[in-house]
Chain A
Amino acid sequence: MFEIKSVSEKDIVIALAGNPNTGKSTVFNSLTGLKQHTGNWPGKTVSIAQGGYIHNDQRYILVDLPGTYSLLSNSQEEEIARDFICFANPDATIIVTDATCLERNLNLALQIMEITNKVLICVNLMDEAERKNIHIDLDRLSQLLGVPLVATSARSGQGLEELKDMVEKLAKEEISPRPRQVAYDDILEEAIRRIQPHIEKKVSNLNSRWVSIRLLDDDSSLMDSISKHLGYELTNDEDLNENLKSLQVELKVKYPGPSDLSDSIVSSIIKTAEDIGQEVLDLGESPHDNLDRKLDSILTSKIFGIPLMLALLGLIFWITIEGANYPSDLLAKAFLLFQDRLSLFITRLGSPGWLHDILVLGVFRTLAWVISVMLPPMAIFFPLFTLLEDLGYLPRIAFNLDYYFKKACAHGKQALTMCMGFGCNAAGVISCRIIDSPREQLIAIITNNFVPCNGRFPTLIILSSIFIASRAGEFSSLTATLFILFAIVLGVSITLLVSNLLSKTILKGLPSSFVLELPPYRKPQVGRVIVRSIFDRTIFVLARAVVVAAPAGFIIWLMANVTLGGLSLLSHCAHFLDPFARLVGLDGYIMMAFILGLPANEIVIPILIMAYMSQGTMLELASLTEMRELFIANGWTWLTAICMMLFSLNHWPCGTTLLTIKKETQSWKWTWVSLIVPTLTGLVLCFLVAQGARLLNLV
């Protein structure tokens, strides 16, 4: 069971449930502010956030359950939401619903109301409903459902105080809801009546009517959870088992097909939701989402859809690259200043010279480099990306690209995880949690590395500027940008190709059913977006990078400074790799730079420069011209540049990403696959390009 981090016994625990896109997380964030803590559900990759707030001197712990449409389809998220409500005994459950499509939301509400009495409905997005001319008779709705109800517009904070008051009343049992129970058809009701007394005897702390229905429906996932959390097998009871078996035989007559009974149960719940909706809803006449449709008709149109998407992504990259320059320099200078102090301090401690060099020039310098080149672009990219997410544009990207992913037997949402990979592949791998089919989730994780992350863009940009665009004169920056866009399109194509290959070989399967909701466009909450993306994504990724970079700095320093017969270890390794590297259009030093660049792709070029100049520490050249001359002096041609760019696009994921993959898949096997697949792709591609060009005498 998910461990609730509470301060004391007296804390009141509240579960927050609801459909996706109902503003559930806005309610959560508004109530808890920044006092949040995210933990993983044991053994699952679904993370659950919890946070606290104080109301009338009482501390409340709010647990944000995964957003689901139902509890009956047995996806990971649904099982977790169900198990928490069932077995963690929250003092109350808030069901957040979307006022603009209430009927569908009531489906989940009715299912939760079968499990527990301690329920409160929060009808959110009231402001949006009003704009759309939708009126809801809230008193009547509360009456029909038999549970307390609060109307909110969480984005503007409206109704949240009332919500807290109502939660207090409910948790202190000042009100006792009598949730409306869905009435099933006579045969099932009769079966429930006959089995319920037997269950009541066995299970005291669960709703016996609900357990009866689940048992009759042969819900093995719930039975597993009952035996896990309550410690007994319901079906071991002979008396109960006999009754159950005979009732199931009787039910089989009426419901012969394998899922007929389940389907009928779902239909009854939906019918009840519809009936309630019809009684309380007054849908206005006006077609209320004209603006949304207009935007959609442009953003997903046959002609403009995909070009606009590329342009938008291009704009984000451009802002990120341009905007990160200055703060990166500033950070680097600050670190350099600090390095002098650190150097002085360590010398004063009387430590030997080699220790000083390892710590300062090895560990600290690598660390400083990684932070100063990684932090600014991430701190710009992630908020911009989160802004697009908040705006509601991301599902449109999935909508535009789904066809191609379906052809590759992959999930439409892989388009989203891929876009996240442009920022950082580790973050992209984490975002694969949104894909609920395990097979398609693995495909998305393994192929995430095929799109270049922020750390690899600098390599691509530098090489394309000095070797490809330098001849274009005035249009050089435009040529470089176009070349980068080409690299992106190539990355996406390889993603699709490899996804397809994986689903035909080691991850065989058909695409799972795909239903994507396209939520209305919403005005983004800029302040909140910045704070959340910095905390949830930027800091998180940076912390992992630091963990990998520090030991790597140590190793790089050793490699460059320990000499054998007049040559550094680095050079020895480079010479050893050279013949092999030349086959794929690179040289031994480039290969070593990629290998030593494992902690972070940003340090590949600096290591390479360091190696070419036979310096003991990493450095950056003042101008691109100098860099070009250095590379040419070391035997580079345009082909070397192309091959290095290709290899940068397709090689092993960085250390941070590998760690993340291990954590997400809980498997070394898939971590290795994620390392080998892109590396092999890169080697093959580079080999073909290099040998092809040489055969055709292009170089």
Chain B
Amino acid sequence: MRNLFSLNSLPVGASCRVEKLVCQGLTRRRLLDMGLSEGTIVNVLMKSPAGDPTAYKVRGAVLALRSEEASKVLVKLL
């Protein structure tokens, strides 16, 4: 698990690749439904005025995730 970060820890502007989802069941399915599967390239776009949620670019779409959900996505920096 070296060099893996959770998605919510990345600064705006970072690019990364999804390595692993550390959640199960419904949350996992929702994340997968939105296209966050292993190998997907994710760009951190912007934070909301209060700093959370954060918007990410995933497969051509822009998704906002709360830090709780984003922390379940382990990524490798590109």
Q: Do A513 and B30 touch across chains, with their CB atoms under 8 A apart? A: yes
Q: Do B63 and A517 touch across chains, with their CB atoms under 8 A apart? A: yes
B window 17-67: CB within 8 A of A: 24-35, 37, 39, 45-53, 55, 58-66
Q: Do B26 and A399 touch across chains, with their CB atoms under 8 A apart? A: no
How far, in Å, is B16 (CB) from chain A's closest CB? 17
Q: Do B24 and A515 touch across chains, with their CB atoms under 8 A apart? A: no
- Across the interface, name the chain A residue whose C-beta is closest to B47: A302
A window 374-424: CB within 8 A of B: 395, 398-400, 402-404, 406, 412
Given A73-B30, A259-B25, A296-B45, verify A514-B63 contact (CB < 8 Å): no
**Cα distance A520–B61 when bound, in Å?**
8
Q: Do A406 and B66 touch across chains, with their CB atoms under 8 A apart? A: yes
Instruction: Choose from B30, B48, B59 the contact partner of A300 (Cβ within 8 Å).
Output: B48
Instruction: Choose from B27, B48, B52, B58 the contact partner of A513 (Cβ within 8 Å).
Output: B27
Question: Which residues of chain B come closer than 8 Å to A88, judged between CB atoms?
Answer: none
Counting contact residues on chain B (CB < 8 A from A), the size range is: 35 or more
Q: Do A301 and B24 touch across chains, with their CB atoms under 8 A apart? A: no
A350 within 8 A of B: no
Instruction: Choose from B28, B49, B53, B63 the contact partner of A263 (Cβ within 8 Å).
Output: B28
Given A69-B34, A513-B30, verify A101-B46 contact (CB < 8 Å): no
Q: Do A518 and B48 touch across chains, with their CB atoms under 8 A apart? A: no
Q: Do B53 and A73 touch across chains, with their CB atoms under 8 A apart? A: no
Question: Which residues of chain A come closer than 8 Å to B29, judged between CB atoms?
Answer: 70, 72-73, 262-263, 266
Q: Do B63 and A300 touch across chains, with their CB atoms under 8 A apart? A: no
Interface residues of A (CB under 8 A from B): 69-70, 72-73, 98, 100-104, 107, 132, 134, 257-260, 262-263, 266-267, 270-271, 274, 283, 292-293, 296-297, 300-302, 305-306, 395, 398-400, 402-404, 406, 412, 511, 513-520
Which 3 pairs show the lowest CB-CB distances between chains A and B?
A403-B50, A101-B60, A69-B33
List 15 additional contacts besides A263-B24, A403-B51; criterion CB under 8 Å.
A72-B29, A132-B60, A134-B60, A257-B24, A260-B24, A263-B28, A270-B35, A296-B62, A400-B49, A402-B53, A403-B48, A412-B66, A513-B30, A515-B30, A515-B64
Question: Which residues of chain B come closer than 8 Å to A300, judged between CB atoms?
Answer: 46, 48-49, 55
How far, in Å, is B17 (CB) from chain A's closest CB? 13
Given A73-B33, A259-B28, verify A306-B49 contact (CB < 8 Å): yes
Q: Do A515 and B34 touch across chains, with their CB atoms under 8 A apart? A: yes
Question: Which residues of chain A come closer than 8 Å to B51, judged between CB atoms?
Answer: 403
Q: Do A302 and B49 touch across chains, with their CB atoms under 8 A apart? A: yes
How far, in Å, is B13 (CB) from chain A's closest CB? 11
- Interface residues of chain B: helix, strand, loop or mixed (majority): mixed
Question: Which residues of chain A come closer than 8 Å to B33, judged between CB atoms?
Answer: 69-70, 73, 104, 107, 266
**Cα distance A258–B31 when bound, in Å?**
18
Question: Which residues of chain B come closer than 8 Å to A519, judged between CB atoms?
Answer: 61-62
Sample (16) of A-B pairs whose CB atoms are under 8 Å apart: A69-B33, A73-B33, A104-B61, A267-B32, A293-B45, A300-B46, A306-B49, A399-B48, A400-B48, A402-B53, A403-B50, A513-B68, A515-B63, A517-B61, A517-B63, A518-B55
Question: Which residues of chain B come closer than 8 Å to A406, judged between CB atoms?
Answer: 52, 66
Interface residues of B (CB under 8 A from A): 24-35, 37, 39, 45-53, 55, 58-66, 68-69
**Cα distance A302–B62 when bound, in Å?**
19
Q: Do A274 and B60 touch across chains, with their CB atoms under 8 A apart? A: no
Question: Which residues of chain B come closer than 8 Å to A260, judged between CB atoms?
Answer: 24
- Across the interface, name the chain B residue whose C-beta is closest to A403: B50
Instruction: Choose from A101, A107, A259, A516 the contact partner of B53 (Cβ within 8 Å).
Output: A516
Instruction: Choose from A257, A259, A515 the contact partner of B65 (Cβ within 8 Å).
Output: A515
How far, in Å, is B67 (CB) from chain A's closest CB? 9
Q: Do A403 and B53 touch across chains, with their CB atoms under 8 A apart? A: yes
- Across the interface, name the chain B residue whose C-beta is closest to A72: B29
Q: Do B61 and A402 touch across chains, with their CB atoms under 8 A apart? A: no
- Across the interface, name the chain A residue whose C-beta is closest to B61: A101
How far, in Å, is A410 (CB) from chain B's closest CB? 12
- Please indicate which of the listed interface residues B45, B59, B68 has the most CB atoms of chain A within 10 Å of its own CB: B59
How far, in Å, is B56 (CB) from chain A's closest CB? 10
Q: Do A518 and B24 touch across chains, with their CB atoms under 8 A apart? A: no
Q: Do A402 and B32 touch across chains, with their CB atoms under 8 A apart? A: no
Question: Which residues of chain A come closer than 8 Å to B35, judged between CB atoms?
Answer: 101, 103-104, 107, 270
Instruction: Choose from B32, B65, B66 the contact partner of A266 (Cβ within 8 Å).
Output: B32
- Across the interface, name the chain A residue whose C-beta is closest to B66: A514
Q: Do A258 and B37 touch across chains, with their CB atoms under 8 A apart? A: no
Given A103-B59, A259-B25, verify A270-B32 contact (CB < 8 Å): yes
- Please indicate which of the listed interface residues A104, A271, A404, A514 has the most CB atoms of chain B within 10 Å of its own CB: A104
Question: Which residues of chain A come closer than 8 Å to B61, judged between CB atoms?
Answer: 98, 100-101, 104, 517, 519
**Cα distance A258–B24 when bound, in Å?**
9
Question: Which residues of chain B come closer than 8 Å to A402, judged between CB atoms?
Answer: 48, 52-53, 64, 66
- Across the interface, name the chain B residue whose C-beta is closest to A406: B66
